[in-house]
Structure 1
Amino acid sequence: MAPPSRMTPMSEFGPVLRKFRKTAGLSQERLAAVAGVSVEAIKTLESGRRRHPRSGTLKLLADGLGLTETQRSQLLAAGARTKARVTIPRELPDDVYSFVGREDQVAELEKTFTAQEPRPGVVVTSAIGGMGGIGKTALAIHLAHLVADRYPDGQLYLNLGGFGPGRPLTVTEALGRLMDSLGVQGPDDPGDSHEAAARYRSALAGRRVLVVLDNAADAAQVAPLLPGASTCAVLITSRRTLTALPGVAHVLLDVLPDQDGIEMLTRIVDDDRIAADPVNALAIVRLCGGLPLALHLAGARLADEPSWGLADLVHRLETSRNRLDELSTTDRDVRASIEFSLAAATDRDTEAVEAFKLLGLHEGDELNVRVAAALLDLPVDDVSLRLERLVDLYLIESVGPHRYRMHDLVRSYVKETTAALTDERAREAAQLRVLQLCLAMGWQTRMTRFSDDLSEAWYDASWTTGAAQFTVDEIFAWFDEEIEEVISAVRRAAAGGPQQRAMLARLVLGLLPYCYVRRRHSDGVLLGTLAIGVKESAEEPFAAALLPFEVAQQCGSAGQHVRAVEYMTTALAAPKIRAYDRAYIEAEVFLGHYLVELGRLDEAIASAGRGVEVALRSGDEVAEAEGRLILGLAAGRQGRTAAQDREFDRAVEVIRRLGTAHERYWLLCLAGLSYYEAGRLDESSAYLEEARAAATEDGDEFAVAEALEGLGRVESARGHLDLAEQHLRASLQVVQGTWQAEARVRERLGHVLLAAARPAEANAQWRSALDLLVRHGSPQADEVRRLLGPDV
């Protein structure tokens, strides 16, 4: 770093003042008392740190010393100002050799700092924010070098010490260093920060100077250091958001993309190992989470160990009990970087930091504020405030309303602190509170919209504590965001202690309606299988009936009809099913449906017939209609057209008269698809259109999508390819993101596109479908792969 040029030799005022004071026999304290000048000011003047006192101060000192006119003239001459040469500071550190990427941020900042004409009265100011080790300083210095020639009157650089060893610079200390770099005399009273700031701003007036304020503690530390001249510019870095500074453009840094991370490693290691082993190079980047500090440390380890292959470092990072131990050197350390952020927390941040150190109780990648509240056993509003404080410190990231994420290495640190601050009992209690939250949300939806006789008989009001204020739509929206974490929690509970296993059946049965409505049937099968697999579920009579009954339905909807038959057969053997007529009828009807799909038609007719018999005996017309639907499906598969029509007509008449919108949709859709299979397209189309209307009335967009999918098949069979494509694309728009339904619709859309002589588009749909099926391990992948030909 080039030193600034200096103005003139130190003034001789200090020695002159000291000589007159000693001649008068006065101590510094006594002179301060008789002259009315502070002791600190006298000490500063005598030491030479202040060379030119104000004229008023000179008069007070001369009067206090009782100087003669001649002595007074000597004192005034020693303190007189001389015209100084202007100092042009060149303080930027060297640009960082390993700096890579950040093209968008560099372009944005460069455009800001090279504007042709400054706006009157406005200082160009940008703040680079982000977590510790994210590369804020590297970007600031790199950018400062790029634009330095636009600021010919100098470039100031000051590390404010906001986060790191030692304490941050005070405003007075920072102003003193900046003024010294500019060759500006400080105020007589070294503690007068207002006078210091005024002199600093005066020195910059009319000059084009770039000021880089690195590692700022907060907005209060920075505000007095901003120039008043619009010709100047300021670039700030901080681990704290500086939104309190008006007119500042904020640039937030994220981790490096994989390719930039590999390039950084290449520059640091400086040999051919990175290029020779791209697979392990990428693994290192991802194990470092793309964090530049971690990448520097990993690269340094490789550079210091030329005999290591990249796989050696990957193994150490993967197998070390604590990855942070591997990302440390004598002078740089990821763990220490995080601790600096925590050490800089203010009194306002204390509760937030306490919460942060316990977030290792959470296992997932993202954290919802309600889950955090359950983990910490605190009110949601309190936790929300604490998490937002952590966002301000860049310790966690806000990824959506009430939703947060932390960097992998930060999570490693938090797990360390949580493990040190809690015992196994406390951790299990926190996990139970999260499970209770999920249970409450699930059963609130179940009892609001999906209740049945069995559920109502088993339900206890304590299961929905804390969820009564939420609507079904709000809870489903919450599950949309949380479902992957919820599934992970269920997995842990299945392998957990007795209390967790004991609540597993209730928890899963609260989640299954969501899985059904959102068509996440594979997730429903997974969750149900986990719950059925613990002995505590079999020991609870209601769970022993409800779990196989509902998991069978998830299996059937997922196309797993063999398992559906097995689970429904188990449900029918449960005493609680047989104790409730409606549950028994539905079990027989669903079993009949799955047997139809397996081609076991005589068994299907027998099962549905038993259901119809009980429905007739109990006077349940809707249940009877559902049973007759299955009898009609079986008749259609057997080619008994008259019997199919008779059963469908009787079922549809009842369901139109007595059924709910959802019951109408289900029956009409199945009847419409049955007619499609029989080649009776007009009847199929009519029923599917009516099913779509019922689904729309019910507000079930996924049911609407299924009806549209069926209509697409009908129109394709009629040769109306444009209309078929329209229906299927409308269906796809809804189910996109629900992998099983999306893959199925894409496969069918591909067939329509191929029939329309658009093979490239058809292949694109099939490739997308194949990707989904392979990603989720579906055996249907082979069928789609065959559509794409032997080269796939």
Structure 2
Amino acid sequence: MRIPPGRQQVVLSALLLDAGRVVSTDSLVDAIWDEDPPGTARTQVQICISRLRKSLASTGAVLVTRPPGYLLQADADAIDVRRCERLAAEAEVVIREGRDAEAAVLLRKATGLWRGATLSGVSSRSLGTKATRLDESRISLIETYLDLELGLGLHHGLIGEITALVEDFPLRERLRGQLMVALYRSGRQAEALETYRRGRDLLIDELGLEPGGELRSLESAILSADPSLLGRIRTPDPGASLVSTPSTAPVRTGVARPRSEKAVDDPGSSPAGIEARPRQLPADTADFVGRSEWIKAVESTLTVPERGHAVGVAVVIGRPGVGKSAMAVHVAHRLGEERFPDGQLYCDLRGSRDQPTETADALARFLRALGIPGQAVPEGRDERAEMYRSLLSDRRVLVVLDDARSERQVEDLLPGSSGCGVIVTSRARLTGVPGAVLAELDVLEKGPSLDLLRRIVGPDRVDGEPAAAEALVRSVGRLPLALRIVAARLAARPHWSLASMVNRLSDERHRLDELTHGELGVRASLSLTYDGMDALTRRTLRLFALTEGASQPGWVAGALLDDRRLYPSDLLEPLVDAQMLDVTGIDPGGDPRYRYHDIIRLFARERLLEQETESDRAEATVRLVGGWLGLVDEANRRIHGGDYLLLHGEGSRWRPPRRLVERVLVDPMDWLEGEQDNLYAAVDIAAAAGLDELCWDLAVSLLTLFGRRCHTDEWAAANRSAMEAVRAADNRRGIAALTFSYGCLYLDQRRNDEAELAMTTALEAFTGLDDTLGRAKCLRELAHLANMGGDRRRALEYCERAHTGFESIGDIAGMGRALLLSGHLYMSLGEEERGMDCLLRAREYAETTGDPRSRAQVMRRLGQYALLRGEHKEAFGILSESFELVRELRDPIGEGYLLHDLGRVSGSLGRTDEARGFLGRSLAVREQIRDREGRAEVGLDLARLLAGLGEREQAIELAEQAAGVFSERGSKRELAEAEEIIGTLRPRAPRGRSSG
């Protein structure tokens, strides 16, 4: 459920904060507008409530009208505020019973309900006060569970969390004291005292105050090494597990087992006297930047004390070149001597190579590093693993396993004791490593990317060309390996500008050639992963490079490979596992969305051109575009109630599995809107490939989306792209169809002369092709143009010819559209009986097709004529029902028209405040869709209303704006009305006296 920002979010927030209690309408008005509500405030609150009821319908929550306002009824556990209160109350009971670990878990759950500041993004002064109180409650609960966990002896694992909290709330002395205690108990006395001094300086600078007595006493106790600071460490209840979760990755915690004495006589341990302390880590990266959250997550996994007897294992995964190995080595050096004084083991498992390191070979290397002579290393892998675990059972050793291929390769290399830690890096998603916590590394953020550039190239060069530096970072997609290569090339060539490097990278065909320096190369790194894939996965990677757009649904892979399996996304999942493809989210049907990183896309396109024949690429492109076109066809059929009003070409369609189609087209209009980027891209792909028939067919099939959602810029772009393709192929029907599409676009933009020329040209073309549907569609739009030009008889003639054409091919939606306009024309000419007959028949056709937009259009006309007959209340009811239909369809053009109609009816009923509200909203919609003439028409009616209310200045302003538009368009009658309002309201200068 998504609630749009603005008033609806404010109203829902107010109701949620007081769920179960009546919130008065006045309170809601104050929450939205503070101290300056408009005259229509209560009406607008009612509108918000109505919309919220629809949004909440599927949640189980109920909005009840109960004087003097509204009551939200919902399950308490469905509301975060109430759930937090319940968990906090349970924690109080558990604390009284002495179960501190369980209480801490409850309080963490309570505070974990927050996802940022309370009511973040909701702008309301009155609600802001309540939000501040809730935020204060949250930090108090956090301080309480930290006290409990410090009492449980969990100080080591809390340092990072409390440090971050102190940075966020630097003036809270309780938090600062907790950090001092945690540091002191962890043997970091100097840092504890420095924490106090920084806090004291801040308090003096900010508030002019010394720290409170409790914090000063704590400093004195640390200075004197007061034994009471160590406290009484309580043992956690069996089974209780406190979890601290950074924002980037889940991290396990637990109680660390103290290191035992050497088990010299233990069978399987190393020979007496051996004290080998391996130091196998590669050198740390001197210019390492960023990754602080990932580093914190990995370090917490390896060092927190709640693991019991389990070894801490962090698995760092990510795409090639993202910096997994560099981060693993960096963290290992940071922890090194302090946390793992008995040594650090390192092995490159070569998982992305043709021949990965055998586990038995890695074990032999580790055993020798731990002091076992070569001749004493057992032959079998199992025996080596047993000896390895025995040697590490009483040591604190960090093991780094770089570039692992699979869980099986890693399992026997895991120590068995909690004193050790393991970092694994992999391009594969190793979710099956026992007890492991995954940290998925992504590309660098913009800031760290620029920092890396500065460190390698030099700050003067980077800061001297800031725009080029940012462009350079963007051009390599912030991929660390690629960025490091670019930086190294620039460092080696001080006479090159950053802008020149950007220029070299601008040609995608040669970008991978530029991303090579010495032994570093992005192409080589990606090739290692690519070569390790099976043939089907490699081909999927290649063909998927034919797609464009921000993200792709999984069925696209089925189309590209002509694979009609029920779950075509299964073709892409191996690429996700290999970190060559990203999952960007889940679509409304519940299926994943996929995309390439830019650099990987370039690599895939290289392989596409090298390893797929031209005919294979062409056939895959036909299936790709044909798949989109087939789904658009089905979406249109569901929207229009059948295969009506749609011009089709002869391009082949590719049909995804039926069950998949049913899932994605639950709401066909929403699907068209959600996939618009891919649909526009498919038009361009077809044009570039010379697929003129598919290209025009898809472009024209998108008229439903273009027209109903006002995507005029995209409409024009799709027409241009498709028209180039059909003209190059001399495709006469495609040219006719796109000329018609241009005519519809010009009509939407009120460029009537251009629209009439386009429609006339298309009509001639369709007549020459003997295309009945195309001809009927053109006649219907020419009728509309004739009506707008005041020639109603000519418009009726066009309508009758259009109706005959539609009737001859059984297109009932087209017949309905022709009758709708005919009914309006007859009514305008005073032939009410014939007009009503046409409208009622049009309504029958609309109900037959089930298209709610057609029903709304017919009802609008019926409401207008009820208004003309003086049946104002009936008109208001009909128009209101029509408005609800177009609002549900999210049709801004229809909303603008109907709000205007409702404003007129309300004015006729004497409801001036309501009329003002409707007209104001209609004006806003017309501005939003950039309909200047429509805005002028609404503005004229609103100016007339405001003049009657005595609001002269605003009425004059609206009338002047309308007059300017009417003058441009040659609308004489409307211009005269606007000038009359201006002349009536504008004060005349006083007549001067004669001096004669």
Matched, 1:86 2:275: yes
Is contact 1:549–1:567 with CA below 8 Å preserved after alignment? Answer: yes
Matched, 1:325 2:516: no
CA RMSD of aligned residues (A): 4.7
Per-residue deviation, 1:107: 2.8
Matched, 1:341 2:529: yes
Q: How does 1:206-355 map to 2 (within 5 A)?
A: 206-319=394-507, 321-345=509-533, 349-355=534-540
Partner letter of residue 371 of structure 1? V
Matched, 1:611 2:775: no
Tell me the residue number matched to 2:26.
Answer: none
Q: How does 1:350-389 map to 2 (within 5 A)?
A: 350-380=535-565, 384-389=569-574
Per-residue deviation, 1:274: 0.2
Aligned match for 1:486, one of 660, 664, 679: 679
Is contact 1:709–1:727 with CA below 8 Å preserved after alignment? Answer: no
Is contact 1:458–1:542 with CA below 8 Å preserved after alignment? Answer: no
Alpha-carbon distance in 2 for matches of 1:593, 1:172:
81
Is contact 2:637–2:643 with CA below 8 Å preserved after alignment? Answer: no
Tell me the residue number matched to 2:593.
Answer: 403
Per-residue deviation, 1:432: 1.9
Partner letter of residue 416 of structure 2? G
Tell me the residue number matched to 2:360.
Answer: 172
Per-residue deviation, 1:257: 2.0
Higher Rg: 1
Per-residue deviation, 1:272: 0.6
Alpha-carbon distance in 1 for matches of 2:389, 2:919:
68
Tell me the residue number matched to 1:762.
Answer: none
Tell me the residue number matched to 1:719.
Answer: 913
Per-residue deviation, 1:326: 1.2
Aligned match for 2:620, one of 400, 425, 430: 430
Deviations 1:617-653 (A, max 9, x none): 98998456412455389x5xxxxxx959889766655
Q: How many residues align?
A: 650
Aligned match for 1:442, one of 632, 656, 665: 632
Per-residue deviation, 1:86: 3.3
> Which secondary structure state, in structure 1, belongs to the residue aligned with residue 702 of structure 2?
helix
Tell me the residue number matched to 2:295.
Answer: 106
Alpha-carbon distance in 2 for matches of 1:176, 1:288:
40
Gaps of 5+ in 1: 1-51, 57-79, 636-641, 756-792
Aligned match for 1:627, one of 796, 818, 821: 821
Alpha-carbon distance in 2 for matches of 1:678, 1:574:
43
Is contact 1:217–1:344 with CA below 8 Å preserved after alignment? Answer: no
Is contact 1:631–1:647 with CA below 8 Å preserved after alignment? Answer: no
> Which secondary structure state, in structure 2, belongs to the residue aligned with residue 719 of structure 1?
helix
> Which secondary structure state, in structure 2, belongs to the residue aligned with residue 503 of structure 1?
helix
Tell me the residue number matched to 1:768.
Answer: none
Alpha-carbon distance in 1 for matches of 2:504, 2:563:
38
Partner letter of residue 699 of structure 2? V
Aligned match for 1:145, one of 327, 333, 336: 333
Is contact 2:404–2:426 with CA below 8 Å preserved after alignment? Answer: yes
Alpha-carbon distance in 1 for matches of 2:295, 2:623:
46
Alpha-carbon distance in 1 for matches of 2:348, 2:421:
17
Alpha-carbon distance in 1 for matches of 2:435, 2:769:
72
Deviations 1:634-692 (A, max 9, x none): x5xxxxxx959889766655545554343221233467799999999978754431213
Q: How does 1:737-756 map to 2 (within 5 A)?
A: none
Tell me the residue number matched to 1:198.
Answer: 386
Per-residue deviation, 1:152: 3.9
Alpha-carbon distance in 1 for matches of 2:777, 2:350:
67
Compare relative contact order (CA 8 Å, sep 6+) and give the higher one, 1 or 2: 1
Is contact 1:629–1:671 with CA below 8 Å preserved after alignment? Answer: no
Cα–Cα, structure 1 residues 649 and 431, in superposed 2: closer, same or farther, change >3 Å?
same
Cα–Cα, structure 1 residues 531 and 85, in superposed 2: closer, same or farther, change >3 Å?
closer
TM-score (norm 2): 0.57
Quote the sequence identity (%).
27
Aligned match for 1:572, one of 755, 763, 769: 763
Alpha-carbon distance in 1 for matches of 2:399, 2:723:
66
Matched, 1:553 2:760: no
Cα–Cα, structure 1 residues 330 and 689, in superposed 2: closer, same or farther, change >3 Å?
same
Partner letter of residue 581 of structure 2? I
Alpha-carbon distance in 2 for matches of 1:318, 1:582:
47
Partner letter of residue 714 of structure 2? D
Partner letter of residue 392 of structure 2? L
Cα–Cα, structure 1 residues 583 and 161, in superposed 2: closer, same or farther, change >3 Å?
closer
Is contact 2:317–2:427 with CA below 8 Å preserved after alignment? Answer: yes
Is contact 2:846–2:855 with CA below 8 Å preserved after alignment? Answer: yes
Per-residue deviation, 1:721: 9.4
Per-residue deviation, 1:105: 1.6
Alpha-carbon distance in 2 for matches of 1:81, 1:455:
84
Alpha-carbon distance in 1 for matches of 2:870, 2:452:
63
Matched, 1:505 2:693: no
Q: Which moved more, 1:277-286 or 1:605-614?
A: 605-614
Alpha-carbon distance in 2 for matches of 1:425, 1:81:
64
Alpha-carbon distance in 2 for matches of 1:595, 1:654:
22
Alpha-carbon distance in 2 for matches of 1:458, 1:679:
45
Is contact 1:360–1:411 with CA below 8 Å preserved after alignment? Answer: yes
Alpha-carbon distance in 2 for matches of 1:313, 1:435:
36
Is contact 1:124–1:233 with CA below 8 Å preserved after alignment? Answer: yes
Aligned match for 1:420, one of 595, 610, 628: 610
Alpha-carbon distance in 2 for matches of 1:82, 1:173:
21
Aligned match for 1:129, one of 313, 317, 321: 317
Partner letter of residue 582 of structure 2? E
TM-score (norm 1): 0.70
Alpha-carbon distance in 2 for matches of 1:254, 1:178:
31
> Which secondary structure state, in structure 2, belongs to the residue aligned with residue 325 of structure 1?
helix
Tell me the residue number matched to 1:46.
Answer: none
Q: How does 1:33-72 map to 2 (within 5 A)?
A: none
> Which secondary structure state, in structure 2, belongs to the residue aligned with residue 389 of structure 1?
helix
Is contact 1:555–1:561 with CA below 8 Å preserved after alignment? Answer: yes
> Which secondary structure state, in structure 2, belongs to the residue aligned with residue 565 of structure 1?
helix
Alpha-carbon distance in 2 for matches of 1:149, 1:504:
65
Partner letter of residue 298 of structure 2? L
Tell me the residue number matched to 1:520.
Answer: 711
Per-residue deviation, 1:337: 0.6
Cα–Cα, structure 1 residues 614 and 398, in superposed 2: closer, same or farther, change >3 Å?
closer
Tell me the residue number matched to 1:29.
Answer: none
Per-residue deviation, 1:299: 0.6
Cα–Cα, structure 1 residues 390 and 708, in superposed 2: closer, same or farther, change >3 Å?
same
Per-residue deviation, 1:136: 0.9
Partner letter of residue 825 of structure 2? L
Alpha-carbon distance in 2 for matches of 1:262, 1:562:
53
Gaps of 5+ in 2: 1-263, 586-590, 947-996
Alpha-carbon distance in 2 for matches of 1:138, 1:585:
67
Cα–Cα, structure 1 residues 739 and 414, in superposed 2: closer, same or farther, change >3 Å?
farther
Cα–Cα, structure 1 residues 460 and 568, in superposed 2: closer, same or farther, change >3 Å?
same
Deviations 1:143-185 (A, max 9, x none): 2333345524334231323246674321112112222332246
Is contact 1:672–1:684 with CA below 8 Å preserved after alignment? Answer: yes
Is contact 1:545–1:577 with CA below 8 Å preserved after alignment? Answer: no
Partner letter of residue 505 of structure 1? W
Q: Which moved more, 1:166-175 or 1:288-297?
A: 166-175
Partner letter of residue 396 of structure 1? L
